[in-house]
């Protein structure tokens, strides 16, 4: 059984990933922590609470960061064109959600949960890495107590999606991402190199809506807006970025990885770029030296991942 904290900015592909974690028999979802990104922190927290209620998820929701780690960093408006005004594809949502968030901020929730079960908690982070960086700043020891961090973020061998080199989750808080990649814990980056290959078509989504009952019907309704956006890049379907990170948790054999220290560019035209120094390659002394080797996913059995996601969310 994998004990998981899901750090997320729901978000439509985040919602699918949440349903995957909730339904997968080998996952024990112990907490949902929210971060700004696909919506403001008010929006993403409301959405997490809404999905928790709709899908009868027991795990508590803890509200996290509403802005990047460095207060000087500009962070702009949420990407409404991708996820809609309410970040859940403009499906009608109740004015009020009944559930309340945990009293602790997300980073404190993470610290407490990790310390309560040292060595056994995996963090899956699919938004900006701000909450993880704040947790490391308050309690650096947790890096040695977390089992693994699997994050959706980065672009290692392919172009980015918010600049020619940067992926959105990293670009949204590059300082936080660099702290997460260079901390002494195991990180697996599931970035655009693999996620852009995992596409669920509109017709497959319609079939899943039928097979999976009310839960997948809601997911399919949310997804229409996201599919409309993604048809600019793929044929009538949606890229399931965040679910890929969850698929890695239970089926890492479906991914090819490359090891090596990873740093994030924080200034200039390449801000947000993730650069790995591949293990076994030698260079003059540089910014990667002395940092832990992390794994970047560079290829994927896309059919295998899509089959796993479909079976899990429609079960
Ligand atoms: C990432 O950015 C967000 O829009 C998605 O939810 C995903 O986590 C993809 O770049
Ligand atoms: Ca996300």
Q: Residue 232 has what pLDDT? A: 87
Of 107, 106, 103, 118, the C-alpha closest to 3 is 118
Total count of domains within the chain: 1
Handedness of CA 219, 225, 230, 235 (dihedral sign): positive
Q: Residue 295 has what pLDDT? A: 98
Handedness of CA 116, 119, 123, 128 (dihedral sign): positive
For a ligand 1 pocket test, name from 6, 8, 11, 234 the mutation site with the most ligand atoms within 8 angstroms of its C-beta: 11
Characterize the bridge pairing of strands 255-264 and 294-300.
antiparallel
Give pLDDT tens digits along the chain (315 positions).
Answer: 999 999 999 999 999 999 999 999 999 999 999 999 999 999 999 999 999 999 999 999 999 999 999 999 988 899 899 999 999 999 999 878 889 999 999 999 999 999 999 999 999 999 999 999 999 999 999 999 999 999 999 999 999 999 999 999 999 999 999 999 999 999 999 999 999 999 999 999 999 999 999 999 999 999 999 999 998 888 889 999 999 999 999 999 999 999 999 999 999 999 999 999 999 999 999 999 999 999 999 999 999 999 999 999 998
Asked if residues 107 and 134 have their Cβ atoms less than 8 Å apart, the reply is: yes
Q: Residue 128 has what pLDDT? A: 98
- Whichever domain contains 104, its CATH number is 3.90.245.10
Asked if residues 294 and 262 have their Cβ atoms less than 8 Å apart, the reply is: yes
Residue 193 Cβ < 6 Å to ligand 1: no
Residue 47 Cβ < 6 Å to ligand 1: no
CA dist 190 and 302 (Å) reads 13
Three-point CA angle 266, 156, 278, nearest 5°: 95
CA dist 189 and 158 (Å) reads 14
Q: Residue 259 has what pLDDT? A: 98
Q: Residue 235 has what pLDDT? A: 84
Which residue range forms the structural domain that includes residue 55? 2-313
CA dist 249 and 8 (Å) reads 16
Active site residue 241: yes
Q: Residue 112 has what pLDDT? A: 98
Residues making up the chain, counted from first to last:
315
Residue 241 Cβ < 6 Å to ligand 1: yes
Residue 128 Cβ < 6 Å to ligand 1: no
Q: Residue 95 has what pLDDT? A: 79
Distance from Cα 281 to the centre of ligand 2, integer Å? 32
Q: Is the pTM of this model over 0.95?
A: yes
CA dist 250 and 246 (Å) reads 7
Q: Residue 27 has what pLDDT? A: 98
Q: Residue 234 has what pLDDT? A: 86
Distance from Cα 155 to the centre of ligand 2, integer Å? 15
Distance from Cα 207 to the centre of ligand 2, integer Å? 24
Q: Residue 97 has what pLDDT? A: 87
Render 186-253 in DSSP notation, one character per residue: -EEEE-HHHHTT-EEEHHHHHHHHHHHTHHHHHHHHHHHHHHHHHTTTSSSEEE-HHHHHHHHHH-GG
CA 290 vs CA 150, 273, 287: distances in Å: 21, 20, 8
Asked if residues 171 and 161 have their Cβ atoms less than 8 Å apart, the reply is: no
* Closest-lying ligand 1 atom to the alpha carbon of residue 161: 10
Residue 167 Cβ < 6 Å to ligand 1: yes
């Amino acid at each position: 059984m994998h004990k998981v904290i899901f750090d997320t900015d729901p978000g439509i592909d985040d919602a699918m990933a949440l349903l995957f974690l909730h339904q997968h028999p080998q996952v024990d979802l112990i907490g949902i922590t929210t971060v700004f990104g696909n919506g403001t922190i008010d929006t993403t927290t409301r959405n997490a609470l809404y999905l928790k209620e709709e899908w009868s998820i027991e795990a508590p929701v803890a509200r996290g960061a509403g802005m990047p780690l460095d207060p000087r960093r500009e962070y702009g408006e949420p990407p409404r064109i991708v996820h809609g005004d309410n970040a859940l594809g403009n499906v009608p949502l109740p004015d009020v959600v009944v559930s309340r968030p945990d009293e602790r901020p997300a980073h404190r929730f993470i610290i407490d949960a990790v310390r309560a079960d040292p060595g056994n908690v995996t963090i899956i982070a699919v938004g900006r890495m701000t909450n993880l960086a704040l947790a490391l700043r308050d309690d650096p020891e947790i890096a040695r107590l977390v089992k693994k961090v699997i994050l959706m973020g980065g672009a290692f061998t392919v172009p980015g999606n918010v600049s020619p080199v940067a992926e959105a989750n990293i670009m949204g808080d590059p300082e936080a991402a660099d702290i997460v990649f260079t901390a002494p814990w195991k990180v697996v980056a599931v970035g655009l190199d693999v996620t852009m290959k995992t596409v669920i078509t509109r017709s497959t989504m319609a079939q899943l809506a039928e097979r999976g009952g009310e839960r997948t019907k809601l997911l399919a309704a949310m997804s229409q807006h996201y599919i409309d956006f993604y048809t600019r890049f793929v044929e009538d379907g949606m890229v399931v970025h965040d679910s890929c990170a969850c698929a890695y948790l239970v089926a890492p054999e479906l991914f090819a990885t490359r090891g090596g220290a990873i740093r994030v560019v924080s200034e200039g035209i390449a801000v947000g770029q993730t650069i790995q120094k591949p293990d076994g390659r030698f260079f003059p002394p540089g910014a990667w030296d002395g940092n832990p080797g992390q794994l970047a996913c560079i290829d994927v059995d896309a059919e295998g991942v899509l089959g796993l996601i479909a079976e899990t969310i429609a079960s």
